[in-house]
Chains A and B, each alone.
Chain A
C-alpha cells in the first residue's frame, strides 16, 4: 500500500509536466479601418500568449493591451481607445480550444472567442495558416471583426462613418516551452 501511494505521488507531477505548453514569442496584430477618404491600420507587437495542451486538446489565450496599437497618429490612437472603451476594458483577449492533433495541419480551423470593448464574440471556422520555422511555429490569419459585433459606435469623418468591417490581421510566432 505504501509503495502504491509513493508511486502515485511520484507519477502525478510527472503527468502534469507532460502537458505540452506553448508560448507566444513574437506577434504583429493589425486592425484595419476603411473610410471613403481614409484607409488606416494600427499595429501592436505587445501581445502575450500561452497555450496549454492536455488530454488531446489545447487551450490558447492571447491578450494584447488596447492602448498598444499604433496607427502613426497619436490623436487617432487616443480616439480609438475612447471609442472602444479601452480604458474601461484595457485588454483584448482571444481564446481558442483546438484539438492537439490539428496543430500540425497547414491550415487550422479555429473557433475564436474574443473579449474586446466589453463584449465577448465568437468567430467560428477562422482559417489560421501554420508555417513551421525550425522549433517555432508561425500562425497567420485574419479575424473578420466588425464594429457592430462589439457594439462599437463607428467614428465618422465629415459625417460619414467608417465601414463596419474592421478586419484584424494576426501574425504570431509560437515556441514550445
Chain B
C-alpha cells in the first residue's frame, strides 16, 4: 500500500477482472500514478463439506494472501454441531422455490391493487342515486355500462386475488421458522381481507339483483360498500406491513 490511507476506508481486494481493468485504464490515462492493482483474488468455492479436509483443499486452490501455518485453526476446531456446517441442496432448492413463489405473489398482489382501486373509484357510478332536486322522487338508475365496468373490475380483482393467494399458499414452508416481525401482521390481515374478498362480490351481486328487480337495496346487500372498504383498507395495510420499515424520505441521502 503506497498511499496514506484513511483508516475508515480500507483497501478492498475482492477485485474482479473488470475492476482491475478499470484501474489499469485509469493508470494508463495518467489519471493515477499508482502501482498496478492487485490481481483478482476472488475465488469460487465448491460447496463446503462439514469436515476440515475440504477447507484445506479450498485453501490450496487459490492464491492465499496471508500465509496460513500448519497450526491455523479449521472449522472443525470451533465446535459447531456437525449439521450446522453441512450443505443442504434440498433446502436451497426449497428456498429458491419459496422466493420464486413469493415474488410472483408480490407482483400479482401489486397488480391486483390496480383493478381494486379502479372498482372502488368507479363504484359511485354503479349505484342508484337520489335526485337532489327531488329527494322523494324515483332514484336515478346507473348506466348499464357503469354497472358492467364496476362488476368487471370487481371480478378481475377477485380472480387476481385468488391467484395471488395461491402463490402465497403454494410457497414451500420452511420447517422450524415461526413468522416474526412485519410478516406476521401481513399474514394476520389475511383474516380480514380474504373473507372480504369473497363477501364483496357476493354482496355486490345481491345488490345488483335487487336493483334489477326494481327494489331498493336492502338487507345484507347494503353492507356491500362497507365490506369493500374494509377489504381494501386491510389489503392496503397488508402491502404496507410487508414493506415496513419504509424510509419515507427516500430522496434524502444519509
Contacts and interface: CB of A to CB of B under 8 A. Distances in A.
A91 interface: yes
Interface stretch (B28-36, B118-126, B172-180): B172-180
B219 interface: no
Given A37-B247, A81-B95, 17 more contacts: A38-B245, A38-B246, A52-B72, A59-B73, A61-B73, A73-B181, A74-B180, A76-B181, A79-B102, A91-B84, A95-B68, A119-B42, A124-B11, A124-B38, A126-B10, A144-B12, A146-B14
Interface residues of B, number: 69
Contacts of A75: 102, 179, 181-183, 186, 242
Contacts of A90: 48, 84-88
Interface in B97-115: 98-99, 102
Interface string B125-159: 00000000000000000000000000000000000
B65 A52 contact: no
Contact of B80 (A57, A65, A72, A76): A65
Interface in A58-84: 59-61, 63, 65, 71-76, 78-79, 81-83
Contacts of B16: 148-149
B65 A122 contact: yes
B66 A95 contact: yes
A120 B43 contact: yes
A68 to B, nearest CB: 9
Contacts of A97: 66-69, 72
A49 B78 contact: yes
Interface stretch (A6-14, A107-115, A132-140, A168-176): A107-115
Contact of B66 (A40, A71, A113, A157): A113
A57 B62 contact: no
Contacts, number: 196
A36 B48 contact: no
A162 interface: no
Contacts of A148: 16
A54 interface: yes
B72 A61 contact: yes
Contact of B47 (A82, A89, A93): A89
A51 B78 CA distance: 10
Contacts of B45: 89, 115, 118-120
Contacts of A19: 71
The A contact surface, by secondary structure, is strand
Interface of B: 1, 5, 7-14, 16, 38, 41-45, 47-48, 55, 58, 62, 64-69, 71-75, 77-80, 84-89, 91-92, 94-96, 98-99, 102, 174, 177-183, 186, 242-243, 245-248, 250-251, 254
Contacts of B72: 52, 59, 61, 95, 97
Interface residues of A, number: 64
A93 to B, nearest CB: 7
Contacts of A88: 47, 87-89, 92
A125 interface: yes
A60 B1 CA distance: 22
B78 A124 contact: no
Interface string A32-63: 00011111100000001111101101011101
Given A38-B245, A63-B80, A87-B88, A123 B13 contact: yes
A89 B87 contact: yes
